[in-house]
Structure 1
Amino acid sequence: MKTVKFYTTKKARIRMMYREQGNPEKHSLLQKQLKQRLVMCYTISVIASLYQRIDIPTMHIKTFDYPLIQIPAGAFTMGTIPTGLRKTDPEEPQRSVQLDAYAIGTYQVTNAQYAQFIEATGYAPPEFWSDERFNAPDFPVVGVSWYDATHFLEWLGALEDVAYRLPSEAEWEKAARGTDAREYPWGDGWDASRANTSESGNKRLMPIGSYPSGVSPYGCYDMAGNAYDWCFDWFHMEAYKYSSDENPLGASEGRRKVIRGGSWIARGEFAARCANRAAYEPIRGLHNVSFRIAVDL
């Protein structure tokens, strides 16, 4: 059996983050487009007027009118107490995890915000871009692969001179459940009225922030239902047994990337739990997977 290594430090994440973004053909095309458009098409004054740096005190990305929640450093309870059920094996064992301070998007990135990236770079629109079931401006952007999401963050980071990234799954889970090990962002009991899942009966994607009663302890919206979030980590069935208890980043390689939060077509009572782990191939986009922005503090 092949031995899989696990990240042990934050510096390892920084060294490997963009090296793992692979897809060299698409990446080189993006870089070429960025150079052509940002160097040849924009003057410094125009860039300054169109794109402003993040307002650190309020953690607000003014380019997109995008708020981020500051999550303080400290420990939280990650995972699930052993249930004896095979479907929860990847979430076990439950353990205390220590994280450095970071910030994470209050909401997922919307179609309107992603459209600015497409317009500025000529990057190919995601799947379902022309599908009226998914393309409303205030819907979370779906159909984006993990690589699409990271290219978006590279572009935004170059504009703002800030190292934006996807959250690790540990960071995502802490933002979703807080420090009291609750089952769902709002508490321990399942309530279909607090999230857009299969039980809600909507049978479609909804605008971001449509379920304020489902907000997380830190103030993050849509951490349960509507659309999954891509996370930085490679998925590994036994990650919790072998990864670090301090700023864990999962396995150093894999076939699928972690997605978190459940979606409009998933059974929320199980999939929308804060501890639930799912995964998908990073080269593909789905109609129920989006992403949100994270950054170190």
Structure 2
Amino acid sequence: MTDTENLSKINGANTIIEQSGQTVTGHQVNIVGDAHIGQVGDRYEIAQAQIMMPQVFAEAMMRFLSAEQSPDYTELVGRESWEPETVLVAAGKFLMGSKPGVGIPDYETPQFEMTLPAYRIGKYPVTNEQYFHFIRETKRIAPKELGWTNGNAPAREQYNLPVRGVTWYGALVYCYWLMEVTKRPYTLPSEAQWEKAARGEAGTIYPWGDQWQADYCNTRCDMVTAVDAFPEGAGPYGCLDMVGNVREWTTTLWGRNRKYNLELECAYPWKKVWKPHEGYDEIDSNRQIRRVTRGGAALLPDLPLRSARRESERPYNRGLKVNRIGFRVALNWEKDS
């Protein structure tokens, strides 16, 4: 199947679904010209992500609104073997951000209390094996940035390594595909969801506590390790690789307006109760706006690897920095209050 055929199969940029007297209109997108490109690369991923967005989200939202009872994923039943394992993060408050201090950037302060509804988040970053299943099922061509030794497939010894070199749009398309095939509301985590999963309600500096443990994560190394290689580094909810190994994409905007925005505009403190897509986590924002990345890469020294560490990257950028970025999934199911 060609890339154009793949795109036409999921076309629905102005999807409107009417059912039971309710109407849901998909996100509006500005994608002139991108919907008909017959190539693999950044523009293809942008087009595919933005075209899938209205159709998949509208259908998922329609099911959500029309259900007599909201779906509940407190317990996840019937997970497929290729579906990422997730853990439950209970609703409640937690401390987000860092206290001012030596080596703490201003955009990581102040520390404040945040409230989140319940959600699920990937226990591990998405692996090469899981991403390869997506590549194979959708008949895509694996970008060379994935670093797979067999070209369009990872070597078996690479299966349990975190996939990296995936753009933000590539990660988003994976989540949308996962949503379609499982009928579960998968997406990328917001940075608030990511941070709570990393440090818990107590707001510890590192996932395992307040004291640095060099043998609890993969740092100061030029190679990534298996996602389950450091069980001692688990966070309070059981998530691994929250620091070290690879940085991870989130839905959260680093800024809003400028093409190469290095100055943080979505600064702390946020509203105290997080609601999906209320502004900080707009999925269909301008495609050039940077997104927050969390965690830390294997090459980083120990000092910056706090649970509250924040960085950013252009969502469609390929190259050395993106080769250090992976992602994990999230499941959101609670309605806004």
TM-score (normalised: structure 1): 0.77
- In structure 1, the partner of 2:330 is 294
- In the alignment, the residues of structure 2 paired with residue 288 and residue 130 of structure 1 have an alpha-carbon distance, to the nearest angstrom, of 11
Indicate conservation of the 8 Å contact 1:67/1:105, yes or no.
Answer: yes
Show CA shifts across 1:256-294 (max 9, x none).
Answer: 111100011112321x20000011110024221101110
Q: Matched residue of 2:114: which SS? A: strand
Q: Which residue of 2 aligns with 1:57?
A: 75
Q: Against the structure 1 CA distance between its residues 284 and 171, is the aligned structure 2 distance closer, same or farther, given a 3 Å change threshold?
A: same
Q: Select 1:137's aligned residue among 141, 159, 163.
A: 159
Which of 292, 299, 307 is residue 258 of structure 1 equivalent to? 292
Corresponding residue for residue 239 of structure 1? 266
Which residue is equivalent to 2:142?
A: 125
| 1:81 partner SS | coil
Aligned match of 1:197: 219
Structure 1 residues 128 and 76: alpha-carbon distance in aligned structure 2, compared to 1, 3 A threshold: same
**Structure-2 change in CA distance of 1:244 and 1:29 (3 Å):** closer
Cα distance in structure 2, aligned partners of 1:28 and 1:225: 28
Query: What is the rounded CA distance, in whole Å, between the counterparts of 1:251 and 1:58 in structure 2?
Result: 25
Asked if 1:150 corresponds to 2:172, the answer is yes
Question: CA 1:177/1:244 → structure 2, altered by over 3 Å: closer, same or farther?
Answer: same
Opposite residue 308 of structure 2, the aligned amino acid is A
C-alpha separation in 1, matches of 2:218 and 2:198: 15
- Find the partner of 1:105 among 122, 143, 167: 122
Match of 2:303 among 252, 258, 269: 269
> Cα distance, 1:16 vs. partner?
11
> Separation in 2 of the partners of 1:211 and 1:21?
43
Separation (CA, whole Å) in 2 of partners of 1:158 and 1:83:
45
* Counterpart code for 1:274: S
Aligned partner of 1:108: which letter? P
Identity in percent: 31
Distance 1:28 1:183 in 2: 35
TM-superposed CA distance for 1:229, in Å, is: 1.0
Note if contact 1:224-1:274 (Cα within 8 Å) is conserved in structure 2: yes
Asked if structure 2 preserves the Cα contact closer than 8 Å seen for 1:77 and 1:96, the reply is yes
For residue 92 of structure 2, what is the aligned residue in structure 1? 74
| Partner Cα distance (1:17, 1:83) in 2 | 44
Residue 236 of structure 2 corresponds to 217
Unaligned ranges ≥5, structure 2: 1-23, 38-43, 53-71, 256-263
Pairing of 1:10-25 with structure 2 (within 5 A):
24=35
* Change over 3 Å in CA distance of 1:20–1:166 after alignment to 2: farther
Give the corresponding residue for 2:59.
none
Structure 1 unaligned runs (5+)?
1-14, 35-53
How far apart are the structure 2 equivalents of 1:161 and 1:78?
A: 31
Q: How far apart, in 2, do the equivalents of 1:225 and 1:21 lie?
A: 36
Q: How many residues align?
A: 258
Cα RMSD over matched residues? 3.1
Cα distance in 2 for residues equivalent to 1:144 and 1:174: 24
Contact 1:67 1:106 (C-alpha < 8 Å) held by counterparts: yes
Whole-angstrom CA distance in 1 between matches of 2:180 and 2:117: 24
1:159 is paired with a residue whose SS is: helix
How far off is 1:174 after superposition? 0.1
Structure with the higher helix share, 1 or 2: 1
CA pair 62-226 structure 1, distance change in 2 beyond 3 A: same
User: How far does residue 117 in structure 1 lie from its aligned partner after superposition?
Assistant: 0.9
Instruction: Give the Cα separation in 1 of the matches to 2:253 and 2:194.
Output: 14
Superposition misfits of 4+ residues, deviation over 4 angstroms: 15-25, 27-31, 130-135, 251-254
Inter-CA distance 18–157: structure 2 relative to 1 (3 Å threshold): farther
Aligned equivalent of 2:246: 227
Read off the aligned partner of 1:66 and give its amino acid letter. Answer: P
Contact 2:253-2:266 within 8 A present in 1 as well: no
- Code of the residue aligned with 1:291 in structure 2: it is F
Counterpart-to-counterpart distance in 1, 2:148 and 2:30: 27
1:242 CA displacement: 5.4
